[in-house]
Every structure is written in structure tokens, then in C-alpha cells.
Amino acid sequence: MNKFKQNFMGLGLIKLLIYGFFLLFLIIPLLSVFLVAFTDEPINVFGSLVSWEQMQITIDQLKNATLDNFKAMFTYGSYFRGLINSLKLSLIVSLWVLIICIPIAYGIARTKMPFKRTISALCTVPLVIPTFISAYAFIIMFGRSGWVTYIYEKMGGEGMLIDPYSMTGIAIVQIFFFFPYALWPMVAAFKISDISLEEASRNMGSRGWLTFITVTFPLALPGMLSTLLVIFAVSFSDFGTPIILAPNDLNLIVVDAYREISGFFNWGGAAILTVIMIAVAGVVYWLQNYLLKDKNYDVLSGKPKQVKLNKNKALTIPLTIFSGIVVLIPILAMITVFLQSIATTWGRDPLPSGYTFDHYRTIFTSSLGNIQNSLVLAGGALILSAVIATFVSYFVVRQRSTTLDFMTTIPLIVPGIAFGIALIQTFNTAPLQLTGTALILIIAYSIRRLPYMVRSTVGTMRAIKQDIEEAAVSLGASTLTAATTVVGPLMLPGIAAGSILVFVTVIKETSVSILMAPAEWAPMSLAIFQNVLRAEYYSAAAMSVILVIIVLVLQAIANKLSGGNKSHE
Amino acid sequence: MGSVLIEQLRKDFSGLTVLQDINLDIKEGEFFALLGPSGCGKTTTMRCIAGFETPTSGTIKIGDKNVANLAPNERNCGMVFQSYALFPHMNVFDNVAYSLNIKELKKSNFFKKAGVYTRMLNSKIVKYPQHIERKVMDILEYVELTEHAKKLTSELSGGQQQRVALARALVMEPEVLLMDEPLSNLDLKLRHTMRNTIRRIQQDLKITTIFVTHDQEEAMSMADRIAVMKDGKILQVGTPTDLYSNPNTPFIADFVGTSNILSGKVVGSEKGETIVQIGNQQIKSSAQTDKKDVQVIIRPENINVLNGAPDNFGNSFEGTIHLATYLGSIVRYDVRVGEHQLLIDTTYESGDSIKKNGSTIRLGVSPERVLLI
């Protein structure tokens, strides 16, 4: 066998390993959770492969499979209520986000509203904050002893302005912290819709607002529908807000699934909820692709033309005020968390009664472990996903491996809690008992964030022409040497930017952490969650501030890296 | 330096044959051009030699060695890519030193290997040994880039980048130098300079060079021999003058230079000359043929305008000037002869008058200049 083939064998082996990794930790868990929905008890997939006895048991389990869980799901019960409530919540949130975003997006894309730059910058703030922290911030604002409630009562109101522990509370948190996901695509849609069509409409005598309703808005509609679906999916999969805010009598599918598995060890129940969650998320994802493919996007793909910005003060000033209020709420929430973290005590008053750094001191003495855990777990996930993503992008770009391309998009669709449940069930028993180890946690984080990493590395890989690699080989380098001395260094900026993104999202990660992290590996997010549950709000606040600061700093570095990368090209 | 021998090379891409019956015998030290329109398979042929494509069948020998089982990095073919493919994260010196580093890497023990690896990633940390330093500087001096050694390749002009690519390929002392459309990214003026540079270097080093181009002028002016390719096959191999004066197909007659190509029928022969009927005209050719239907090929510069001079060319016709184009040293006339259209080139010297459109002229062609295919 010649050397060229040997090198190919080397790469082929890596490809096989990557397939094995996805099969083991993504495909089999998802399939197995699907089977458990029928068998009602965990099946030991890997055990069946190594032991004949276990195989027999599994076969018996499959023989005794029932549709009971499916029946339970769809006869009117708590599961079904959970699904309906979750769908309702996601629909409400996505519609409100759309309504809120239309004026802001129009303001940013098409007008010269005052403070446009400041507002655009502040609109990114909610993206940085994990939802369980925003949910918790709402409690200390709107809760019984929150400052909003205080002001409300002073103004003559009774009780709470909004009960944070309710469907409304959850919806409001999600609306104000998810709207940026919809805002930027909508700004883009408004920017590139064809101005000449609007001018034609005006030319035919239509007034400004009529033009907006009859021309501008319908043209931006397909884009809006697709962003509506994005918000729907984000809201449906969100675990952080409902787990903090959902009252016991409110069934939501993500919370139900979590309680079934971590409270009652009801494998079958958790499995059916997981299957339903994945199905809903899958349908939403499919709809979104369908919309993007089949709608007429001529307008949106047209070249952006010079937009005449609306300067009418009667329009721009109300727009600024509206946008200001929308961005103010998340910022107030963060300020509240910060104040709580440095408060001695904060009762039913507009401001804390005194200030101290004690809570930070406590954290750095007693909870340093959580910070360490977060950093170690995120670091592990970073390394694992960087290695996998680098090879995956090589196979996707150079060998056009569509299977791998598809596999790395699956984690985008599967909600975190669903993926966590699938992994717990699959790796619950010997021979591959990984549940409760740091390893499975790191693997779960990596797979969940791999799509972002792959997007980043595929981008850089595409930018490296095949010629450059071939040049190295023609100069005598083996494919491996060419990869390490030429392709590797050129991919480094992309890998670095993607790595930081993975690191940041792992630190922010809620669902997998809360579901899977063992006590000795509790990361910051789990610690904050437990503190909130124990009503230890001050240390939760201090930990949240530290988490947000870590995220902000890393995000800034990532932006700089990816920005620097672009200017380099 | 090596010769290159290709026998019965064939390449299929997913059921589609892109190369077939490729036979080439390229001699040591020869400057050989693969010429043809885009998609003719010339680049694929070169990539088969370099080892980037695996032939479906056939053999390739470099020197006396069959390279079928050699990886591209073992073939010692220096390659200059169309895009130059310089390493953008390395400076000029590091780019040129790349193959020398690789050679060190193969010979050294583990610790030295680690050192060379580090140097390839960052040459500031581990210094180059003297012999590499000297070799790289020598070749950089040879291509006149000494003062640019420490620059990043993106800071260089197109012509300078081209010379870096050339230096990088030459420094490894390849058996064969392969160049894929190396001049196509340069502007016209630079292209002419680079032609001379490449030709000079090739003759200096007597290095076997295979050069892919779609530009017949480039091939004609640089190569010792040319293979003209079309649709995955070689149509003709020969010296530039061969191809020009004896094209074996109408395609080559047209692709290599300009030709008047007319279809005709052989109607007889007379004193060793073949008589061909073209429409209602007859023309004599000294070429011999067994075919009945032939293509008659006459180069524009081989048709003479008889300004009242005696007609001793053997063939003469009357034509009307349709269009006259002044091209500097020559004037090209588009002339109607009967229902046919002919291009005629006449040398132009200052003071000559250009004939008016619509004027009638007499033309003469000697039978030796009339080719039959």
C-alpha cells in the first residue's frame, strides 16, 4: 500500500471515529428514548450488544411494548395540558416578540430616530444573560417584596403588578429576553426590501402609512414568519425561565419532563414527553426551512439599495421612546441583580438598605468550586468540540460529506432537556454507565454546541483554497504535515472564535447542567439555580453577576477575533 | 531532471471520460506546453502527473520511475499553481523554505523534528540553519526578490507573487516543473515580461517543464513543443512551427493562429497538384490526399494582393473588399470571393495606402501554401 493511501486511511479512521461518536452519543440515545416511550422502562442498548442475557431482556421489553404512554399523552391529562400550555406560551411569546420588533426594526432600518446607535447596542444585552438569571431577576423586581411591587402599591395598586410565578410572568421574561433573536433578521428584511416598489406605491398616490401596510409589510412578511418560528422554537425549548417561574399547578412540557425524570424516575413518562418535544421542535424546524425554500425571496435577495431614511419627528420620537422602554426592562433587570448582589438586605423598599461586598467574598471562599467546575467543564467541551468540528468541517468542505453535515444540525433541533433525558436513559447502566460523570456532561455540552462551532470552522475551511493544501503536498509534505503546518494555522482564527462561543454558551447552559450535573461537578448555573430554589437570593445574585461578566468578556474577545479575521481576509 | 512518459492515460470522473488515449513523450530539459480551450483536459493531465488525480488507467513515468504508486509528495514535481497558492500566514522566505523544511523533517531525529515543526509554525522561535538560509537567499536573488524576503506574500504585487511561487517550486530541485496557467492572473504587460523570465530560467536550469495554457500565443512563444488538446484527447503534438504550418485538423488550424477554412471536393490532379472544387471556384494545392471531401486551409498572410503584378502564384481570384482593419504592422482585409469570405493579411509600411471598402482586388495564392485536411 502506498503512503498516499495510508494517509487516507489515517483520515478515514478519524472519520469513522467521528461517525462512531455521533452514533454513540446522539443517534442511539435519541432512538433509545423513542423506544423507551413504548417499553415504559429503560432499555440497555449497549448491554444488549455485549450480553446475550441482556439481549433477551431487551427483546422481551420490546415484545411487551405498549402504546399506553401515547394514550396517556393524548387523553386529557397533565401531559397533554403541558404540551398545550407550552405551545400556547410559545405562540404568545413569538407573536408578542413580532409585534414589539416591527416598530423597533423599522426604526433601526428605515428612520433616523434619535439614539439609534445606543438602542441597537443595548438590544444585544438580553442575549448575553442566561434566561434563568433573567427569570430570577424578575422575581426580585416583580415579586412580593420587589421594588416594582413597592412602587405599584405606593401608586395605589393592590398586590403585585404582574405575578412573576405565572404563565404571564414566564411569557414576559421570554418576550423581553428573546426579542433580539428576531430583531436583527427583521432589520435585515426591512433594509433589503425593494425601496423602488414603495416609491411606485407612493407615486400612485398612496400615503406613507398606507404604503407601509400594503407594500413594505407584506414584502417583509416571509422573513417575519421565519423569525416567528425561530422565536417559537427558542421559547418552546427554553428551560431556564419556566423551571424558575412555573408554579406547581402550571404544566409546561419542559418542566414536566424534568420532574418526571429527576423527581419520580418515571422513564416512560419522561421518554414520551421527550419524543413529543423533539417532534414539535422538528416540525418547527422543517416549517422554517420550508418557508425559506419555497417562498419568493426575490425581494430579499435583491441588492440593497440606498435607503431614504424617514426623518419625520412625529414618527421617530415615539419610535425611540418605545424602543427605549423595551430595552430598558432587561437592563433594569440586570441592574436589580447587581444591586441585590451588593445589598446587605433588600426588603420591600425601592433601594437596598445598605451595601456590602460580603456576598462576593462568600462566593470566592465557599463557591469557588462552582466557578472552577464551570471553567473546567466549558474548557473540556471547548476542546472536544474544537477537535470534532475541525475534522467535521474538513470532511464537509473537502469531501462533501453531507451525512456529517446533517448530523451536526440535529443538536440544533433537539431541545436541551430532551437531549439530556435521552443521554441519561441511555447511559444509566453498565457496560457504559456514564450518567453522573463529568465526561457525559462534557460530551452533552459539546454535542449541543457543536453546530455553532462547525459553522465557524466550516466558514474558515471554505476560505482556505484547496490549492494551498495541494501546494504544500507538492512541496513534499504529507497530508498530515500539510494539515498541521498550513491548514491548521490558517484555521486557527475560526477555531478560536468558535471555541469562545462554545465556552460562553456552556457557561450559560441551563437545561443540561441542571438535569445532568452531579453534585461534585455542579457548575455556576446549577449553583445559582439551587440558591434561587433555596431563596438564597444574595449569593445567587453575586454568582449571576460573575457569570455575566465572564460571558461579556469572552464574547468581546470572540467578536474581536472574528472581526480581526474578517479584516485579515 | 527527468523525462516524462505518458502511455494510454485515461481518466473517468463518475462515469464521464475526461481524458483518453493520452500518449506523451516529454524529453529531459524540454519546455512542453499543453494547449487547449477550457475543459479540454489539460489541467487534469497535469494533475495526473503531479499525483493529485489518480488515472483510471495508463502509466506515467517520470525519469525511469513508474509513479503510479507514489503519493504527490513523493513525486518531486515542483508545481506553480494558477492562483500561486502561496501560504498567506508565512512570509516570502518561509514560503520558499517550506520544501527544505520538509526535507529536514524526513531526515531528522525526534528532537530535531520538533524543532523543524516549530520553525514551520513560527520561524522566529527556531532559526534556519546556514545551508537552508543560503539556498533560499540564492534562489530569491535569482528571481530578484532579495529585498522582499521578510514581507508577507499579501504585500507583494501579482508579478512578485508569481516569482515567489516559482522560487518555491524551484528550490526543491524538482525533476519536473509543472505550471498551471501561471500567467493568467497577470496584466498584459507583466505577462510579456514573465514569459521571458520563465523562459530564461527554464533554459538556464535546463529543467523539464510542463506548462498548461489556453493562450496559443503564450504556448507558441515559449514552448519547445506543444500538445494541442480538445475534449479529453490530444489532437497533435509538434513544435510551434510544425503546428502552424502543418495543422492536422481544422480545429488546430483555427486555434493556432488564424486560418481561412473552406470545404471542398477533390476533382482531379494535374502535374502532381491536387485540384479542389470550392463552390464555383477551383484551387490547386501541392498537398496530396486520398480523401474526396476535404477542408482547404489557407493562412491569411499567404494570400497575396496583386497590385497589377504578374500572376505567377498558380491560383488567382478576383474579390471585393468588404472591410479593412488596420492592425499596426499589418492590414487585415475581409474579402468576398464569390460566395466565400477570406481574411487576408498584408504587411503595412508607413506611406502605404489602405484599400477602400468595396474596391475590387486580384489575389494570388501559391499551391504550396494551400493545405488540405
CATH code of the domain containing B337: 2.40.50.100
* B237 and B270 assigned to the same domain: no
> Closest partner residue to B105 among A2, A474, A481, by Cβ?
A481
In a domain, A291, yes or no: yes
Tell me, yes or no, if B125 comes closer than 8 A to chain A by beta carbon: no
**Residue A9 pLDDT grade (very low, low, confident, very high; cuts 50, 70, 90):** low
DSSP A487: I
| pLDDT over 80 (residue A305) | no
**Residue of chain A whose alpha carbon sits nearest to that of B118:** A485
* A324 and A383 assigned to the same domain: no
Among the listed residues B263, B269, B305, B264, the one whose alpha carbon sits nearest the alpha carbon of residue B286 = B269
In a domain, B310, yes or no: yes
Which candidate in B49, B102, B176 is best for mutational testing of the A interface (most A CBs within 10 A)? Answer: B102
Contacts with B73 from chain A: Cβ below 8 Å: 3, 473-479
In a domain, B250, yes or no: no
In a domain, A27, yes or no: no
Q: Are A473 and B81 a contacting pair at CB < 8 A?
A: no
**pLDDT (0 to 100) of residue A299:** 43
Mean pLDDT, residues A174-199:
80
Q: Where in the sequence is the domain holding B101, given as residue range(s)?
A: 4-245
* A341 and A407 assigned to the same domain: no
Half-sphere exposure of B301 (CA within 13 A, CB side): 8
Tell me, yes or no, if B132 comes closer than 8 A to chain A by beta carbon: no
- How is residue A480 written as a grid cell? 498530515
Last residue of a domain, one of A356, A382, A417: A356
pLDDT of B157-210, one tens digit each? 988 999 999 999 999 999 999 999 988 888 888 888 889 989 999 999 999 999
Mean pLDDT, residues A421-444:
86
In a domain, A176, yes or no: yes
Mean pLDDT, residues A516-541:
88
pLDDT of B209-262, one tens digit each? 999 999 998 999 999 999 999 999 999 999 999 999 889 999 999 888 888 999
| pLDDT over 60 (residue A493) | yes
* A263 and A225 assigned to the same domain: yes
The region of weakest confidence among A173-182, A560-569, B228-237 is A560-569
| Pairwise CA distance, residues A102 & A268, whole Å | 43
Mean pLDDT, residues A355-361:
88
In a domain, A229, yes or no: yes
Half-sphere exposure of A507 (CA within 13 A, CB side): 27
DSSP secondary structure, A37-97, as one string: HHHSS---HHHHHH-HHHHHHHHHHHHT--SHHHHHHHSSSHHHHHHHHHHHHHHHHHHHH
Q: Are B121 and A485 a contacting pair at CB < 8 A?
A: yes
**pLDDT (0 to 100) of residue A302:** 43
Q: Are A118 and A323 in contact (CB under 8 A)?
A: no
* B221 and B294 assigned to the same domain: no
| pLDDT over 70 (residue A3) | no
- How is residue A46 written as a grid cell? 449497549
In a domain, A185, yes or no: yes
Mean pLDDT, residues A202-230:
73
* B132 and B9 assigned to the same domain: yes
* A188 and A287 assigned to the same domain: yes
pLDDT of B165-175, one tens digit each? 999 999 999 99
Last residue of a domain, one of A306, A340, A356: A356
* A171 and A183 assigned to the same domain: yes
In a domain, A435, yes or no: yes
* B279 and B183 assigned to the same domain: no
In a domain, B253, yes or no: no
| pLDDT over 70 (residue A569) | no
> Closest partner residue to B77 among A474, A489, A490, by Cβ?
A474
pLDDT of A191-204, one tens digit each? 766 666 666 666 66
Q: Are B98 and A484 a contacting pair at CB < 8 A?
A: no
Residues 6+ apart with CB under 8 A from B115: B108, B126
**pLDDT (0 to 100) of residue B61:** 93
DSSP secondary structure, A500-523, as one string: HHHHHHHHH--HHHHHH--GGG--
Give residue A33's identity as a one-letter amino acid code: V
* B192 and B304 assigned to the same domain: no
DSSP secondary structure, B100-143, as one string: HHHHHHHHS-HHHHHHHHHHHH-TTTSPPPHHHHHHHHHHHHHT
In a domain, B251, yes or no: no
| Pairwise CA distance, residues A373 & A441, whole Å | 11
| pLDDT over 80 (residue B45) | yes
In a domain, B252, yes or no: no
In a domain, B119, yes or no: yes
* B207 and B284 assigned to the same domain: no
**pLDDT (0 to 100) of residue A202:** 64
* B16 and B163 assigned to the same domain: yes
Q: Express as a percent the part of chain A with pLDDT over 90.
A: 27
Q: Are B102 and A476 a contacting pair at CB < 8 A?
A: yes
| Pairwise CA distance, residues B14 & A51, whole Å | 44
Contacts with A484 from chain B: Cβ below 8 Å: 117
pLDDT of B122-154, one tens digit each? 888 888 999 999 999 999 999 999 999 999 998
* B303 and B178 assigned to the same domain: no
- How is residue B179 written as a grid cell? 505550471
* A222 and A275 assigned to the same domain: yes
- How is residue A396 written as a grid cell? 464537509
Total residue length of chain B: 373
Total CB pairs under 8 A between chain A and B:
84
* B295 and B185 assigned to the same domain: no
Which candidate in B46, B70, B98 is best for mutational testing of the A interface (most A CBs within 10 A)? Answer: B98
In a domain, A10, yes or no: no
Contacts with B79 from chain A: Cβ below 8 Å: 470-471, 474
Contacts with B170 from chain A: Cβ below 8 Å: none
ipTM over 0.90: no
* B161 and B275 assigned to the same domain: no
In a domain, B262, yes or no: yes
For the four alpha carbons of A32, A36, A42 and A48, in that order, the dihedral sign comes to negative
The region of weakest confidence among A175-189, A226-240, A266-280, A299-313 is A299-313
Mean pLDDT, residues B91-98:
94
* A378 and A347 assigned to the same domain: no
**Closest chain B C-alpha to A248 CA, distance in angstroms:** 59
**Residue B291 pLDDT grade (very low, low, confident, very high; cuts 50, 70, 90):** confident
CATH of the domain at A518: 1.10.3720.10
In a domain, A523, yes or no: yes
Contacts with B52 from chain A: Cβ below 8 Å: 470, 473-474
Last residue of a domain, one of B189, B213, B245: B245
Tell me, yes or no, if B119 comes closer than 8 A to chain A by beta carbon: no
Q: Are B81 and A470 a contacting pair at CB < 8 A?
A: yes
CATH of the domain at B169: 3.40.50.300
Domain count, chain B: 2
Domain count, chain A: 2
**pLDDT (0 to 100) of residue B41:** 92
Tell me, yes or no, if B51 comes closer than 8 A to chain A by beta carbon: yes
Contacts with A479 from chain B: Cβ below 8 Å: 73
Bridge partners, residue B16, by sequence = B13
* A459 and A492 assigned to the same domain: yes
**Closest chain A C-alpha to B76 CA, distance in angstroms:** 7
- How is residue A75 written as a grid cell? 387523553
Last residue of a domain, one of B204, B221, B245: B245
**pLDDT (0 to 100) of residue B312:** 76
| pLDDT over 90 (residue A377) | yes
| Pairwise CA distance, residues A209 & A230, whole Å | 28
In a domain, B182, yes or no: yes
**pLDDT (0 to 100) of residue A304:** 47
**Residue A556 pLDDT grade (very low, low, confident, very high; cuts 50, 70, 90):** confident
* A249 and A152 assigned to the same domain: yes
Which has more pLDDT, B244 or A432?
Answer: B244
* A430 and A458 assigned to the same domain: yes
Give residue A430's identity as a one-letter amino acid code: A
* A330 and A451 assigned to the same domain: no
Write down the mean pLDDT value for chain A: 84
Q: Are B248 and B240 in contact (CB under 8 A)?
A: no
Chain A 437-476, residues with CB within 8 Å of chain B CB atoms: 465, 467-468, 470-476
* A309 and A390 assigned to the same domain: no
3-state secondary structure (DSSP) of residue B78: strand
**pLDDT (0 to 100) of residue B23:** 94
**pLDDT (0 to 100) of residue A455:** 84
Last residue of a domain, one of A303, A333, A356: A356
Which has more pLDDT, A19 or A110?
Answer: A19
* B20 and B150 assigned to the same domain: yes
Q: Are A474 and B78 a contacting pair at CB < 8 A?
A: yes
* B187 and B263 assigned to the same domain: no
Q: Are A4 and B86 a contacting pair at CB < 8 A?
A: no
Q: Where in the sequence is the domain holding A255, given as residue range(s)?
A: 77-356
Q: Which parts of chain B fold into alpha helices (H)?
A: 42-50, 92-107, 110-121, 130-142, 158-170, 188-205, 216-222, 240-245, 250-255
Last residue of a domain, one of B245, B277, B309: B245
Bridge partners, residue A125, by sequence = none
Q: Are strands B371-372 and B77-80 parallel, antiparallel or unpaired?
A: unpaired
3-state secondary structure (DSSP) of residue A470: helix
Tell me, yes or no, if B168 comes closer than 8 A to chain A by beta carbon: yes
